[in-house]
Structure 1
């Protein structure tokens, strides 16, 4: 959550700020851009340029565009959270809210950001949701009624087992996204800014959250600007659709029904990567030299055997019997030693993963999907049961490895098992995009000899190939944390594939992707499965499941 004009004092949620933001705009807020543009520090070209728009107070707007078009930049500028004091950043034109520069407005905008982790402020759910309203000097007696109502609206009430004192660190990614929106509902700001607010939600939660937003703007008259790649969720509920061009301004501005009707404009939008309703792109059949080199390098240095295809489609890579999984440590720390131990996220699970297979784990938010993924990937220990890697995954060089991948050294794990986290930032460890992709192959080791599996030249070639395949070559020298959400997701996939693992786990792999980048990503993963590697994904993306012809494991 981002709020404007608040003294933010994490850790003191029940103490009102000394200086409250003035309630200058009682209902909706007018937004105007006049030749506005922004170039991020270190970039050669602007994220947005020549933006012209006038959004009347109370209007509901869907802001769309290809991945990297600058949609999040516009929302962050309206919320006043771009760093205007950075000497390397450049701003042109004007961006106004109620005739005041957006960066100077106070108490007007509420922002739900793309990354749920980045907006958790306090350690308890109730305090976190109350934070914005407190900083806007809502009377204390009114705040908690707002908080309870907002949590109920987004599906995080007592019926779902979420109490006001629930530890925010125990929420799933989707639940954190709901909590962030609840904070905005409790604030009731005149300008509501939502950056892919449904990206991590289960199908039921998508509709629940959308309807909660629409009730808020209907009740308060707030102006709504929402960024979302999948247009069908919002198209019938907004007044206007603005289409951003990469590094440019607005290419189309009209009612969604007009832009999305069959005809040349709809075809143009689909070709640009816009997810027009009813359109699902075909996965790109990747036959490039870059892809062939990626597969050949991985096979040549596969720690299992000399040829991955020898074991594909038949060998068992990983087996789990009677598994119980949880993110809580098996031995609680002193702070929780005297409280009741939390229940595991899932219990009594039996799992078998074969070579050359695609598996998708589905289920409602909070069901433990990400926890199961991290447990199977050897990144957190299982709480009960047995998890064992098969001989096909260990390979002849790893015959002496323990059965449980959690006990493997990082250098042994990286060339066998790769994991794409739900939050891409959690796996970035270097200062540039190119170094990030190089990190895996540079650290992959033979478990017996300790020698590197890839030479420097091979690692460099692998990085070049993956950056080319995933459309990231032009960003090679950029800091990973400055990329757009969709670009970060593709980078996180590249970093994992660079070490040539035989078993790849992905948490929400298509998050933040436009239709064109989605087609490339799914084409790459489908090709890897066809070459004998295995993919296990957590996703709510039905189209992803279909194109990979994946086996579905539904958690409850």
Structure 2
């Protein structure tokens, strides 16, 4: 374990006494009965099952909760002995969804924005901007448009903006979730460098436990029922067999322990449903092509995993295969087993025709939520297609993906993992022949990961084609099928 430096005068302390928060319109508290003390300069890994309240705790420490219109608070949560809302600039938070954190149009301005608001002298701001961008490995011009960044690049940008603040408390919510394997280590090492330099306190929420276990000095595990399930040094909490078993039962990812997935890995594949030939894909009409000369067949009853470094064009390729972006060049044809009477050109299909054939789950789940409750969200697609929703179908999906207790909740108040599962369920509700998923395992604990994999295996066995943009090697191995590696502006089928 890396030795923890002596805390700097700027390092922040955290105190919680019986603290809890309930979102407006929700019966259950998102977090409750929390009692803990975090000393200045400590590095804490905050774990817990999906929906245990980890993100809520970070939002509370960042001063983003507290309005009576937004919810109800009980107990006390303090930062340096005062309410977090009164400690402006002391905490810097990287949100679970970096898309919601990007404000300005250019990379340099975005990184400088928070430091400017804290009245950091101008000459220091740009020194911090360059250093933060170097720290996170985002090698782009300062005038590069933020709208042209991939999801992983936006994650690095959001982290750089917070690092440039040099806060006394650094709060990171799934900071490596959408990063390629090299990027995961780069970002973790960037955080460690900043902590070594500033002595700041760290609280990081992450399902990649093994990545952070050697660079933190404390692990706190939240109980889904409220309070703290475990608290101690990583060598105790993550190593002692009795504790490991208890955490595994709660859904916490334990290094060296893989969740059980029932049934064999799907094998083979059926008829071609969608065929791409010499495809060039681009995010915008005028921008450069992200991937060129892409040739791939999407087959019934087969998984296709799209991999590659951040910014390579994986999501753009997936959106094109999902017929939500028109290709710059080449052909994308629907074969009879998919097209039916709708015709071979999927870009001529009407929305109800498309959603029954190809369902796409975006990288940012919030981008596809349209209603005020989980139940209505599950019913929306079937109602648009056929006028009614089958309550047995939506009920089964809610139960399989652990959403039954959230049916009345507003989708935007769910945890990141719950939002991801809901976005998958909404697409499955219309029973498409092809399901396209962008980072499907984002925010999942070990139990919900296994349930999602099991459900997707069953769909593949039933003849559905599952296309996934993912960095999750375990997920790829669990689904089998083919892998399309996208890199350097080209796509290459590397395994089947």
- Aligned to 1:430, the other structure's residue is in SS state coil
In structure 1, what is the equivalent of residue 366 of structure 2? 425
* 1:32 aligned to which of 15, 31, 38: 15
Please tell me whether Structure 1 or Structure 2 has the larger radius of gyration of its CA atoms: 1
The aligned residue for residue 74 of structure 1 is 57
Q: Which runs of 4+ in 1 moved over 6 A?
A: none
Question: Which segment drifts farther, 362-371 or 429-438?
Answer: 429-438
- Of 305, 308, 315, the residue aligned with 1:363 is 308
1:343-385 C-alpha deviation (Å, 9 max, x unpaired): 2000011111111110100000000000000001100100000
Deviation of residue 549 (structure 1)? 1.1
SS of aligned partner of 1:385:
strand
Asked if 2 retains the 8 angstrom alpha-carbon contact of 1:117 and 1:173, the reply is yes
Equivalences for 1:469-508 in 2 at 5 Å? 469-508=400-439
| Correspondence for 2:319 among 365, 369, 374 | 374
- Provide the TM-score with structure 2 as the length reference: 0.94
Q: Deviation per CA, 1:410-459: give whole Å up to 9, x if none.
A: 00001110001000001111111011111111122xxxxxxx3xx73x52
User: Does the residue aligned with 1:110 lie in a helix, a strand or coil?
Assistant: strand
- 2:448 aligned partner: 517
1:285 positional shift = 5.7
More deviation, 215-224/435-444: 435-444
Structure 2: tracts of 5 or more residues without a match: 1-7, 488-496
Whole-Å separation in 1 of the counterparts to 2:240 and 2:220:
18
Asked whether the equivalents of residues 123 and 169 of structure 1 are also in contact (C-alpha less than 8 Å), the reply is yes
Whole-angstrom distance in 1 between the partners of 2:160 and 2:276:
37
CA shift for structure 1 position 403: 2.4
State the alpha-carbon separation in 1 of the partners of residues 257 and 474 from structure 2: 10
Residue deviations 1:213-256, cap 9 Å, x none?
A: 01101100100000001200001100100010114111111001
Secondary structure of 1:415's partner? helix
Checking the alignment, whether the CA contact within 8 Å between 1:40 and 1:88 is kept in structure 2 is yes
- The answer to whether the aligner puts 1:181 opposite 2:159 as a matched pair is yes
Equivalent of 1:547 in 454, 470, 478: 478
Partner of 2:236: 258
SS in 1 for 2:214: helix
Aligned to 1:124: 106
* Distance in 2 between residues matched to 1:101 and 1:467, nearest whole Å: 37
- Judged with a 3 Å threshold, the aligned counterparts in structure 2 of structure 1 residues 315 and 185 are, in CA distance, closer, same or farther, namely same
Conservation of the 8 A alpha-carbon contact between 2:173 and 2:205 = yes
Q: Distance in 1 between matches of 2:466 and 2:403?
A: 22
Counterparts of 1:111-510 in structure 2, within 5 Å, are 111-157=93-139, 162-284=140-262, 313-329=269-285, 332=286, 342-395=287-340, 398=341, 401-444=342-385, 452=386, 456=388, 459-510=390-441
Q: CA deviation at 1:494?
A: 0.3
Distance, in Å, in 2 between the alignment partners of 1:129 and 1:26 is 24
Q: Is the 8 A contact 1:415 1:501 kept in 2?
A: yes
Give the corresponding residue for 1:102.
Answer: 84
Cα distance in structure 1, aligned partners of 2:337 and 2:343: 14
- In structure 1, the partner of 2:38 is 55
Greater mean deviation of Cα atoms: 102-111 or 516-525:
102-111
Q: How large is the RMSD of aligned CA atoms in angstroms? A: 1.4
Q: Tell me by how many angstroms 1:65 deviates.
A: 0.2
Determine which of 2, 12, 26 is the counterpart of 1:43: 26
Distance 1:283 1:389 in 2: 32
Question: Is residue 93–residue 170 contact of structure 2 (8 Å, CA) maintained in 1?
Answer: yes
**Is the 1:67–1:512 contact (alpha carbons within 8 Å) kept by the matching residues of 2?**
yes
- Residues in 2 aligned to 1:230 and 1:434: alpha-carbon distance in whole angstroms: 31
**1:378–1:407 Cα contact (<8 Å) kept:** no
